[in-house]
A and B are shown apart, each in its own frame.
Chain A
């Protein structure tokens, strides 16, 4: 099945009306989805293999991407495969890798359509754990869509959030040990830029996180990034997730976002205040007898120097991202 849906079927007038009503409110720019329930769906409906459940799950994903594009949601991050999932049976894993191979090859065929719609595909996670041939396929897909800039689909494959945070800290530590930044430069905003979901344009956390199948856990998915997301737990299994569930989730988001965005603003303000205090402390350490004007000048200089260090560090991160993709292509 195709990644990009062309909506040839006509939408009912009820749907058109409902969409117009929802568009009156805030639409998230980035949503994250835990697509849970494929296997239970297969068992419940007596499908011959769990693999069929996963294939149906992919159909739902393609539909959801189409609905998102109607609403102008530009980034979608989905949880496809967790590092914990490597514990599953050999048979199921083989089936899953086959689906990935098939979908990636399909993606290469649809290069033109993806370019036309400007969809960038990124595969996030500890990709070095994947089978070698799949590493090659996913890195090719990322390179192929690198310059598409209208929308982004992040597929978390071989991913857990703790591993992601650990990798981010590792990158920071390397930055410090290579003399690019100082350890005091590390704060929430720097760590965020090192997470898998960040790219060369910066860090863009999801505003809405959806989990299907009635489970109410995050299961090691975007733990840091979903700190200020509206969480929406839906009872249906992922293959059953319809456009009406999607509308419901968006309405739920809209009724919560006012409060959540206030919490997010407070959080950002708090980081800035902490930052000011820390810089003042660092600067006044070697300038005990300074007057206020001198101190202000020193703070300003310190901030400028730090910005240069951080810009170098972010460039270094971008280079590393490119290198990782290139090294997997070999």
Chain B
């Protein structure tokens, strides 16, 4: 009896561990200095992508966050014409590292010989879209766990004091949330970290977002960045019909 139990446990362990072995090997591959070479070739990238989404969200659930890679993704997004890029990790590591990311981004733009200069505007608390119609501006929004369900709790408290309960509906709440976050709902979410979970990311805003999972952001190169975004332009959204 004990032996059968042991065998079953062992087989189960092997099956579930398999994923980790694969992702470990992939990680080894990427530790070769290939991505350094990649980053110098930014001048070859198309200046604007066909059908870039308006808003790309990046959910990072990896243990080690590479700010160099993040800034690369932000700069690709800017060059591709994406107007909003949201970065989220639950602990707020990214949010606290705003200066580091801005520094990396500046360094990158000095190195690149791209004709097009993108203006990056960072937001950490409320997102007011002052210069939203400037096509050369990409808004970078940094979020942590306080910005998710908590924002809905705040709206709910706010409602009680100012509104008759009978008037509460979806449009009303959406309007109140727009006071805090003045951005369109994310079109695509890149989910890094091999856990297939969004860790509470903006529950109200993600109803139609396409969710794409990656083991790690370290593997992402420009061609897969682009193809994953363009793939979802083609998807026929039926909106319930």
Chain A, residues 156-196, CB within 8 Å of chain B (1/0): the string is: 00001111011011111110110000011011100100000
Interface residues on A, range: 35 or more
Q: Say yes or no: is B33 at the interface (Cβ < 8 Å to chain A).
A: no
Among A171, A228, A255, max chain B CB count under 10 A is at A255
The size bracket of the interface on B is: 35 or more
B153, A21: Cβ atoms closer than 8 Å: no
B214 to A: closest C-beta gap in Å: 13
Q: Is A186 touching B156 in the complex (CB atoms < 8 A)?
A: yes
- Measured in the bound complex, the distance between the Cα atoms of B63 and A263 in whole Å is 12
Q: Are B8 and A172 in contact, CB atoms less than 8 angstroms apart?
A: no
Give Cα distance in the complex from A196 to B166, angstroms: 18
Which of B44-52, B107-115, B193-201 contacts its partner? B193-201
Instruction: Please state if A188 and B16 are interface contacts (CB–CB under 8 Å).
Output: no
| CB neighbors of B among A183-226 (8 A) | 183-184, 186-188, 191, 215-220, 223-224, 226
**Which of A43-51, A81-89, A286-294 binds B?**
A81-89
CB nearest to A255 among chain B residues = B16
User: Which of A88, A166, A216, A255 is B211 in contact with, Cβ under 8 Å?
Assistant: A216
A172-B160, A220-B207, A223-B207 as given contacts; A165 in contact with B195, CB under 8 Å:
no
Contact of A259 with B by CB under 8 A: yes
Assess whether B203 is in contact with A224, with CB atoms less than 8 Å apart: yes
- Complex: A191 Cα to B16 Cα, angstroms: 35
B207-A218 in contact (CB<8A): yes
A251 close to B (CB within 8 Å): yes
- The answer to whether B153 touches A186 (Cβ under 8 A) is yes
Docked Cα-Cα span, A85 to B170, in Å, equals 17
* CB of A229 within 8 Å of the partner chain: yes
- A274 CB contacts on chain B under 8 angstroms: 150
> Is A230 in the interface zone, CB < 8 Å from B?
yes
CA distance A254 to B91 in the complex (A): 24
Residues of B within 8 A of A86 (CB): 240
Contact of A216 among B149, B168, B212 (CB under 8 A): B212
Question: What are 28 A-B residue pairs whose CB atoms fall within 8 Å in the complex?
Answer: A21-B8, A21-B11, A24-B11, A25-B12, A84-B240, A87-B240, A87-B241, A161-B203, A162-B207, A166-B170, A172-B156, A173-B168, A177-B160, A177-B164, A177-B165, A184-B157, A188-B149, A217-B207, A217-B211, A223-B203, A223-B206, A227-B198, A231-B196, A251-B15, A256-B197, A259-B197, A263-B61, A267-B90
Nearest first, the 7 closest Cβ-Cβ pairs linking A and B are A84-B240, A24-B12, A173-B165, A176-B160, A183-B160, A227-B200, A220-B207
- Chain B residues close to A by CB (< 8 Å): 8-9, 11-12, 15-16, 19-20, 61, 90-91, 145, 148-150, 152-153, 155-157, 159-161, 163-166, 168-170, 172-174, 193-201, 203-204, 206-212, 235, 239-241
